[in-house]
Structure 1
Amino acid sequence: MTREILYLKIAKIIEEQIASGTLKTGDKLPSIRTVQKIYNVSINTVKQAFLELESKSLIESRPKSGYYVSKTFNTRLALPSISKLHLSNKEKTPEDLISKVFNTLTNKDFTQFSLGVTDKSMLPIAKLNKGIVKVLRTLEDSGTGYEPAQGNINLRRNVAKWSFTWDGNLTEDDIVTTSGALN
């Protein structure tokens, strides 16, 4: 006799509602407490069910608002096409390969995984600009002043607070940060 795991059962029910169109893209899901009362389970069970649905990109969490049916769940990526293999008798050199890679840098049809840089269209430019303006307004000297030699006090204080997670007992004076080291 197999017993179904509760959080998977709840996740499956909600997943079926999304698949059948009962819950549409952008619809708000019932709150965690409401689902907890409906199924008479713990809040952790409901959270685990929602986490399962989030991992499948079916729902998304919005801060102080709740859970919503995700806009990305219905997005289907096109199947990749099969490329034709072109055999060449010409001997290939490493320089040919390097040249081929660099020639694709400006081609918009290629996703450049080799660069390790996010595509500009993926960046939340508006949020970044808003954050920069907020910081410039709140920092002393609009953020142009120099930090102490040990590094930013707020950063060191937060690192010290989180040091307990690795059994550390640090204070902000025990920590030195740098702005980077390339060479």
Structure 2
Amino acid sequence: MKRKRILRYISLFFILHSSFFISSCGVYSFNSAKLDPNIKTVQVSTFTLSAAGGQANLPLQLTERLKEYYQRYTNLKVVPNNGDLVLDGTITGYELTAVAPTANDQAGQNRLTMTVQVRFSNNKDDTKNFDQAFSFYQDFPQNQTLTQNEARLVPRLLDQLVLDIFNKTAADW
């Protein structure tokens, strides 16, 4: 699990740094995938929350982070409707679980997992459309509460989910 997390951070590092080398000609190339130069706009509809937990503004945070990411790392214009690319979805999971059992049958760590169901439509190429769940987690010590860690963990979860969603939609990874 640590290796997978390290690989995600390395991917994030390269994407963030490679964005400076993307040309403004309208074709984006990420690991040999290309975003059609005819695609000019992206619509990110406000996500909803169907999970039992989580902060009330979680859907808005996710929606705004997605919009900002597209604005920062592409030349696409974010529009309120009729986008060439359309993203919408639901936060379906916000779960706290005990992990890493100790010799005393107690959890050594707690895990906060967030799951987002994303519906993506590419109005220029229907073969790119998908409806997929994205999930990510962060662990924290068993002797600490979620309240003590939520302000630190939620931004990390959102950042990773945004990166995964962006990679699937724009980078086609």
- For the superposition of Structure 1 and Structure 2, which TM-score range results when normalised by the shorter chain? under 0.3
Larger-Rg structure: 1
Q: Higher helix fraction: Structure 1 or Structure 2?
A: 1
Q: Higher strand fraction: Structure 1 or Structure 2?
A: 2
User: Normalising to structure 2: TM-score of the pair?
Assistant: 0.21
User: Normalising to structure 1: TM-score of the pair?
Assistant: 0.20
The structure whose RCO (Cα within 8 Å, separation 6+) is larger is: 2
